[in-house]
Chain A
């Protein structure tokens, strides 16, 4: 992956030299041309086209933002309701992710989603302890974490 990015930047530099214009816009155009070349040649290069991962990263960021907005609506609803009808508690969420990097990302994602806040890890990093405002619907929360977030993170790292 690192090699491909380097190749892409090299193509962009060559493009800039050929055009004899040294500006950010020309670099961007060159980068896009290089991207297109790599995409066309992806079957001969003996490795995956790296831009698939970049798209996955953008998907993850979009998911992040969407969940953050939902979480805010949720918090505002609770704050503005005259009675505090919340049922908080700490629940344990098992996770299938392996490396530290992935689990950190998952914890951040959990913190910014509606009604949940990651609090602690177990020692082997397989369980995340999450503070939830609505404990009765914890099954739905765990399911969402498994199906949506872990999948999105896996797409980036695998």
Chain B
């Protein structure tokens, strides 16, 4: 019974990782790709880690805290990484997809640029 549950966790993790990779190829621009990369990869890794943790706990009888720590750190780092990549991509000037509808950030960026220019002058 435990083996079935462990295999389900591992299979879900593997499937999510594969789907996330397909998503990275299929989405049209950087920002869309980050959606696939942050979400699917996070849950995929977490699911595999839970499966491994359960395997060591029930089959081998060892409590391995490292796996739980891995889950915590993946949870913490994945959104931050997505945030930093998208932020720097926008600042470097990577274009949005042609069919994008709205861009509220461009006005903010122009405003920010003006302020820095003024600071340089004074």
- Write the B73-92 contact mask toward A (1 if CB under 8 angstroms, else 0): 00110111011001100100
Contact A90 B80 (CB under 8 A): no
Asked if A107 meets B100 with Cβ closer than 8 Å, knowing A117-B38, A133-B35, the reply is no
Contact B42 A68 (CB under 8 A): yes
- Separation in Å of the B40 CB from the closest CB of chain A? 6
A15 to B108, alpha carbons, bound, how many Å? 58
Closest B residue to A122 by CB, please name it.
B108
- Write the A33-50 contact mask toward B (1 if CB under 8 angstroms, else 0): 000000000000000000
Closest B residue to A130 by CB, please name it.
B104
Closest A residue to B106 by CB, please name it.
A90
Interface hit among B3-11, B24-32, B52-60: B24-32
- Separation in Å of the B88 CB from the closest CB of chain A? 10
A119 to B22, alpha carbons, bound, how many Å? 23
A86 to B31, alpha carbons, bound, how many Å? 13
Instruction: List chain B residues, Cβ under 8 A from A108.
Output: 76, 79-80
- Write the A64-107 contact mask toward B (1 if CB under 8 angstroms, else 0): 10001101100110111000101111111000000000000001
- Separation in Å of the A108 CB from the closest CB of chain B? 4
Instruction: Give the bracket for the number of chain A residues in contact with chain B.
Output: 35 or more
- Separation in Å of the A95 CB from the closest CB of chain B? 14
A89 to B35, alpha carbons, bound, how many Å? 13
Closest A residue to B46 by CB, please name it.
A68
* Interfacial residues, chain A to chain B (CB-CB below 8 A): 64, 68-69, 71-72, 75-76, 78-80, 84, 86-92, 107-108, 111-112, 115, 117-120, 122-123, 127, 129, 131, 133, 135-136
**Given A79-B22, A112-B79, 15 more pairs with CB closer than 8 A:** A72-B43, A75-B19, A75-B39, A79-B26, A87-B101, A89-B103, A90-B103, A92-B105, A107-B79, A108-B76, A111-B83, A112-B39, A117-B86, A119-B87, A136-B101
